[in-house]
């Protein structure tokens, strides 16, 4: 039997990269899937590409009011939710002196505030049992230059998984984290760097990767499927680091 048969999963940021790969894997494993995205065109393209009866919801991951709208759309379509993959995020990098309050607020809003209020909004329709998977980052554990705000937002998300695990486990809701290292996704193209700078950045990252390559989005998606499935029913408040050995150096 497929590992997510008869389950419904919501994947935020499901139009590209890890989120899209997770949606593909969830469908392969028999799940009913809802995805969110900010860009309407990419959202519709993802819905078509997934070739399934996917619920596509346009929403800003950092907008608190939008999280209630997401929960309403999921409830109207599916009634209940068995799994949630909080994947939507931004990865702003920059030196200390470059940060502004607006940029800080956006990063924290999308990566930490939005997820908290999404979980709050979805709590009434989460099944018992249910699984929440948060997308953290290896940057929360290593001192990479220029990653201060991004790393702090992901560290907060990882902490949230532990505290919410203690709070929600009595309702049958498990909360866990996947923390990827460098993964080949379109996210790197959104850093505002020219191609030469991106190439230099990639070379620097590869030099510190024992695996010798970037991860594939489906490798992270496989871990999400495990944590969303009943196979991980005794896994609570845990973090699965998938970084090609980057954190071992």
* Residue ranges per structural domain of the chain: 8-241
Residues 6 or more apart whose Cβ sits within 8 Å of residue 125: 71, 74, 75, 79, 80, 81
Report pLDDT for 52.
Answer: 79
Catalytic residue among 150, 165, 175, 185: 150
Report pLDDT for 208.
Answer: 78
Question: Of 3.40.50.720, 3.40.630.30, 3.40.50.300, 3.90.1300.10, which CATH number belongs to 8-241?
Answer: 3.40.50.720
Report pLDDT for 202.
Answer: 77
The neighbour count for residue 108, using CB atoms within 10 Å, is 18
120 touches 86 (CB < 8 A) = no
Q: Tens digit of pLDDT for each residue in 1-34?
A: 899 999 999 999 999 999 999 999 999 999 999 9
Residues in the chain predicted with pLDDT less than 50, given as ranges, are none
pTM for this structure? 0.93
Cα distances (Å, whole numbers) of residue 189 to 72, 81, 94, 205: 32, 32, 15, 15
Catalytic site residue 188?
no
Q: Which two tokens stand for residue 79?
A: 């009634």
């Amino acid at each position: 039997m497929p590992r997510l048969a008869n389950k419904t999963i919501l994947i935020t940021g499901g139009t590209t990269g890890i989120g899209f790969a997770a949606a593909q894997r969830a469908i392969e494993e028999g799940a009913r899937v809802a995805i969110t995205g900010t860009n309407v065109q990419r959202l519709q393209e993802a819905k078509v590409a997934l070739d399934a009866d996917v619920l596509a919801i346009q929403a800003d991951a950092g907008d608190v009011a939008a999280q209630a709208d997401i929960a309403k759309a999921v409830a109207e379509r599916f009634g209940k939710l068995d799994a949630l993959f909080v994947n939507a995020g931004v990865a702003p990098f920059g030196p200390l002196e470059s940060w502004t309050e607006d940029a800080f607020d956006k990063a924290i809003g999308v990566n930490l505030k939005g997820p908290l209020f999404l979980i709050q909004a979805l709590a009434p329709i989460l099944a018992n049992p249910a699984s929440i998977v948060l997308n953290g980052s290896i940057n929360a554990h290593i001192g990479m230059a220029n990653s201060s705000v991004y790393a702090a937002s992901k560290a907060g998300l990882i902490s949230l998984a532990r505290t919410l695990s203690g709070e929600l486990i009595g309702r049958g809701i498990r909360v866990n984290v996947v923390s990827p290292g460098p993964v080949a996704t379109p996210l790197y193209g959104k850093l505002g760097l020219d191609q030469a700078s991106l190439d230099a950045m990639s070379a620097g990252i590869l030099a510190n990767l024992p695996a010798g390559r970037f991860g594939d989005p489906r490798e992270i998606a496989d871990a999400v499927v495990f944590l969303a499935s009943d196979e991980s029913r005794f896994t609570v408040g845990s973090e699965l680091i998938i970084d090609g050995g980057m954190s071992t150096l």
